[in-house]
A and B are shown apart, each in its own frame.
Chain A
């Protein structure tokens, strides 16, 4: 029996951590998603077990009893042998509107200057890239997006803002993403997305899932206002109009 691609590490009495090789790769992300889906089917079932997959790791948390690491590890190894692979993973593609007007894009000019390109080119490159959701965490609905092109690599701001408005779209280092809530933050703010990516009154509260891909679409102030109102009154159609199931 060949060893699985992950290492199994104890993580306190009720959790166990599976670590794939420390690389940011789609193949690894999809293997994690596929194996998690396989475990959820009659092996380590929800809600008794909680799953936190992100980047190259999968944390399994048991809600009630302490886990017996030795027997769980041997089960995990044997389940990986019978796991057919991540073929059936369904991911979705989302197009999120972003208004890059100076009112929202607080650092757009400065970021373009640092990158030695025009603000228009920065917007175009930011929108031309398809990003992959490698994790959701830190704050409710915060997406860890991978795929920022090298020519858009920017340092974080020297001093973080105490208050970045909810919906702001930021760029820093290898990461870009949306602030799901108003919070402190050190990313360069390029624009604002009118669609709340996290809503606790929806089920599920985040329509975007791990493994999905995302593109930003530059919209005018008028379209921004329209989508904001649509989202507020609950008629913005997440599933059909701006996203599709094709992956």
Chain B
């Protein structure tokens, strides 16, 4: 068991997401930054869909009841295993009783901790991803015990990745969304010529951007939305729907982000800047 001593600011179990229930209003959920989670599972030679811990802003304090191997990636954080500082994107053996102290996140917004074989918390609708109210809670709390299979014998094929470069990236590759054609010429130009900064309203559901486009009165009938859909509210506010984003919405869907662009956005915090780059025109 992985025992949660202190939960950190917002820590949750996430896999690749919950598929097949969007038509009932159930968001995909899953890791916000797939690239970073993929690095961790790659080093541990876990299946791509293995569940990891997603840590936001301030990491947790964890105790491993049994030996295993771990790795972390994503945003940089100070992290200590029984007092020894760990490097990102490497595999470390953890003894039974080992205590992992995850500190404050510095560059980026979310860090990922993987365990050999993946976390084995219960599957709900085919996924281990926390998303309330599909799962009981949206984050771990002190005293939680997260299951994993102990492992004492593992020789990684890859010892180390070079640093993740998408953390600092700010260009978001974007395809035209279904309502892109309804934008005015001025709106289109602004969308692709200026930079936008994240507002303080940003979480796993949606990221609002601070700078506005000209307001509009486009009305549409509610239709499907996806992770990575960029909506334009009537006030001119841009909203990027994230992994926990609603499955349907009534605001014009002006852009659809390419998948890796979502990982880039997931590492941004308030006031960080992003820029849309047109793809497929």
Contact = CB atoms under 8 A, between A and B. Distances in A.
Interface of A: 9-15, 17, 19, 22, 24, 46-47, 50-57, 59, 61, 63, 135-142, 144, 180-181, 198, 200-201, 203-206, 210
Given A135-B248, A144-B222, A205-B125, A12 B257 contact: yes
Contacts of A139: 25, 246
User: Which secondary structure dominates chain B's binding surface?
Assistant: loop
Contacts of B23: 50-53, 136-137, 210
Given A52-B23, A57-B223, A137-B22, 20 more contacts: A11-B178, A12-B177, A12-B229, A15-B226, A47-B19, A52-B22, A52-B248, A57-B224, A59-B226, A135-B222, A135-B248, A137-B222, A137-B224, A140-B21, A140-B26, A140-B133, A200-B133, A201-B124, A204-B24, A205-B21
Interface residues of B, number: 36
A204 B21 CA distance: 9
Contact of A140 (B20, B24, B224): B24
User: Which secondary structure dominates chain A's binding surface?
Assistant: loop
B172 to A, nearest CB: 12
Nearest to A183: B133
Contacts, number: 119
Contact of A136 (B24, B125, B256, B280): B24
Contacts of A144: 222, 248
Interface of B: 19-27, 124-125, 133-135, 175-178, 220-224, 226, 228-229, 246-249, 253, 256-259, 280
A198 B248 CA distance: 17
Nearest to A134: B222
Nearest to A23: B221
Contacts of A46: 20
Contact of B256 (A11, A52, A57, A198): A11
